[in-house]
Amino acid sequence: MEEAIVRKIQSAANKVKENVECVIVGKSEVVELAIVALLCEGHILFEDVPGLGKTVLAKSLAKSLGCSFRRIQCTPDLLPSDITGTYIFNQKTADFEFRAGPIMSQVVLADEINRATPRTQSALLEAMQERQVTAEGDTKMLPRPFLVMATQNPIELEGTFPLPEAQLDRFLLKIQVGYPSAEDDRLILSRFRRSDPLEELAPVISAADLLKMQQECREVHVAADVEDYIIRLIHATRKHSSIELGASPRAMLALLNAAQALAVIRGRAFVTPDDVKYLLMPVLIHRIIPKSESRLHGRKAEQALKEIMNSVAVPVEEEPVTGER
């Protein structure tokens, strides 16, 4: 991969990051991970309490890219057709015409996704993985780029439907936003006191530019020892004593692609073991299932992943040849 392409993508990513941080305060890592998902054309699951800026982040990303944005407020009475769209009879033309649902947007926020019924949750599966929806037997392709950002509240569990493993596996990253610091809270009060900076955001790159960068990120060099490191981490999740269900091949590919995107964002044409370690938690935390006895003893997936990260030997870093593989 040429250094000029790396600099171009890094510059574009920095522009998006700076633009979003005009609105989102003190969450540099969260914004960086969101840009990683954009470059991988992956989806994000936010699990955190309300009011931390998850919706604002989704809107800020859409505005920064000049992309269409729709929000789906998930409730128990939401139907699959409310998401995908349906055919409506037009009396003027005496014919049925397709009325697109909110999923036919480039950036989609599924708010409190675990409040939707399993039937409605499954309507997102085809869209998230295949980038298409089926309505009345007809297949409709979704616009590109396409990003789903879903939220769920880990505190209020009454009237919710936990996402099945197949649905969770469609999310590239699971991210916790967390509360801002006292200094960040002070900056939030100052910035939002008189106006909403979200209304002033303008696009800094185009959707077409993003699509090209997504293809270019796949050319980031991954050395054989780094590939072996990823494989050993994935296999360790399948053999760990406290894990019932380990990471799948899809999870392995997600970790590889996310590491390639992170490397470019940080100005490199090659992936390092540190890139892989940095992304291990957000990529795998929602894809592994601890054994029931482990959960009873308070052992969580996060603890198991930390043990795996500490036990799997890290390859010695050597700067590789940055040409095409």
Tell me the per-residue pLDDT of 9-40, one tens digit each, with 9 for 90 and over.
Answer: 999 999 999 999 999 998 999 999 999 999 99
pLDDT value of position 325? 45
pLDDT at 135: 75
Tokens (6 digits) for 114: 């675990």
In the prediction, which pLDDT does 42 show? 92
Strand, helix or coil for residue 68? coil
Stretches in the chain below the pLDDT threshold 70: 156-159, 294-299, 317-325
Whole-number pLDDT of residue 121:
87
pLDDT of residue 158: 67
User: What pLDDT shows up at residue 256?
Assistant: 97
Indicate the residue type of 169. Answer: D
Which domains are delineated in the chain?
Answer: 218-325 (1.10.8.80)
Cα separation of 165 and 170, whole Å? Answer: 9
Q: What is the pTM of this model?
A: 0.88
pLDDT at position 319? 54
Measured distance CA(97)–CA(108) in Å, rounded? 23
- Select from 204, 249, 179, 166 the least CA-distant residue to 15: 204
Q: How far is CA 23 from CA 29, 64, 67, 148, 283, in A?
A: 15, 11, 17, 20, 26
Closest CA to 233 of 283, 268, 270: 283
Q: What per-residue confidence (pLDDT) applies to 160?
A: 78
Report the alpha-carbon distance of residue 282 to residue 277 in Å, rounded: 10
**Nearest in space to 35 (alpha carbons), one of 213, 244, 180:** 213
